[in-house]
Amino acid sequence: MQIVKKPSRQEWPELLKRPEIDTTSLFGTVGEVLENIRQNGDKAVFEYELKFDKVQLSALQVSAEEIAEAETLVPHLLKEAISQAKRNIEKFHDAQNDELPYMNVIPEVRCWQKRVAIQKVGLYIPGGTAPLFSTVLMLAIPAQLAGCEEIVLCSPPNAEGKIHPAVLYAANLCGVTKIFKIGGAQAIAAMAYGTESVPKVYKIFGPGNQYVTAAKQLVSLKNTAIDMPAGPSEVAIIADHTAKPRYIAADLLSQAEHGVDSQSILITTDEALIVGVQDEVKSQLELLPRKDLAEKALQHSKIIYIPDIEEAIEFTNEYAPEHLIIMTHNYTVVAERIVNAGSVFLGEYSPESAGDYASGTNHTLPTNGYAKAYSGVHLDSFTKKITYQELSREGLSMLSNAIEIMAENEGLIAHKNAVEVRLERVYREDDDYSDSWRR
């Protein structure tokens, strides 16, 4: 890990950089995949599964028999762990289900808002180096709670044409309606455009590699909404003299083992902490099965010594981390000053892995600095909100001057007339001005 001590503000922009991944360079390649699937449907998907996932499939959709088989292959203890996580995630997300009540903005002008589920959503679950069944929970549970009618899931199959049993078990447990053995950009295209087998969805969720990210960006331009811009996963830790190097090292490594492009940042106000953290990282790293991945991620990770806590907070807000762990003696005070972060973990007993799996919050979060403008996935991500208004004749009359003056000054005279005809300021013999106000 790179060690930086007391950086000047002129050095901040360089320190804030993430591992560089330019998905726009992939738009040509990915665009060809998208267009081929848009034109040729299942036929093109089968071809790309053979080309990219190295498997000859006879069917794209996972069968009921395969789901039943997967349930028998998932160990009992893992089922219990998934169930506990599911309960916590459901409880936290269900509490987000509120609506704006009816309100009289002024007398006789009533407005309200209604939450409506997005009817068809698509979930992408990477296969890659780890079976992310936890991401199934994070995406399928709020989709089900929101009331989405169709929840489609795509995940790349292995060489035998199978999806990991835990992924299938979690998907079935959480109400996914259709599961498909499709990976990469071809999965995004199939869900965005629809094929003979795969339904077209209205919004696509889930992480993925740079090809998946590029595909999501392209389809979002005119076809399908996406959850958020995505990049490599990351964690930042703010720590002072009270923090334990062993805990810090474990959190840095838990992020680093995600992949070679992950990034772990420690921002500390205590210079003496640095050596202890370095020693712990070195010793704990040797015990990790994914040591090689973590080592590569640590090459672009940093320990930054900033003596002043206010400056450390400011630096963190500029970085806008996906995950932020605060291990200071006054962590609640520090947390109040955080304005840019995907999810915040407070105190020494709140590791990032709690949020990744079972605390109840969602682990699908904005990366690459997008936490400055984006939220993580939550219940509202799977809904849209429709506003309503109902005016009586009296209510319209009270607003008429404002409406007419504004419309006239924008040059939209038909807008003005829509008010005037109702208030009999423009009169025709066949007009019916009966009051239709319904209470």
Q: Which residues are catalytic?
A: 322-323
Q: Cα 172 vs. chain centroid, distance in angstroms?
A: 21
Rg of the chain on CA atoms, in Å: 26
Start-to-end CA distance of the chain, whole Å, equals 67
Cα dihedral sign for 343, 291, 25, 195? negative
Closest CA to 362 of 382, 374, 377, 347: 377
Alpha-carbon distances of 208 from 134, 173, 215, 217, rounded to whole Å = 14, 23, 10, 12
40 is annotated as contributing to ligand binding? no
124 is annotated as contributing to ligand binding? yes
164 is annotated as contributing to ligand binding? no
Question: Coil, strand or helix: which one is 204?
Answer: strand
Rounded (10°) angle between helices 76-94 and 165-173: 40
Task: Report the relative pairing of strands 203-205 and 120-124 from DSSP bridges.
Answer: parallel
Residue 45 tokens, joined: 């998907």
202 is annotated as contributing to ligand binding? no
H or E element at residue 398: helix 393-409
| Residue carrying the six token digits 């990976």 | 183
Cα(249)–Cα(255) distance, rounded to whole angstroms? 10
The conformation of residue 418, written as its DSSP 8-state character, comes to: H
The conformation of residue 341, written as its DSSP 8-state character, comes to: -
| Residue carrying the six token digits 């609640």 | 332
39 is annotated as contributing to ligand binding? no
209 is annotated as contributing to ligand binding? yes
410 is annotated as contributing to ligand binding? yes
Residue 32 tokens, joined: 């060809």
Q: What angle do CA 135, 137, 140 make, to 5 degrees?
A: 100
Cβ-Cβ contacts under 8 Å for 41 (sequence gap 6 or more): 193, 194, 195, 196, 197
The conformation of residue 129, written as its DSSP 8-state character, comes to: T
58 is annotated as contributing to ligand binding? no
Annotated binding-site ranges:
124, 186, 209, 233, 255, 258, 323, 356, 410, 415
Annotated binding-site ranges for NAD(+):
124, 186, 209
Annotated binding-site ranges for substrate:
233, 255, 258, 323, 356, 410, 415
Annotated binding-site ranges for Zn(2+):
255, 258, 356, 415
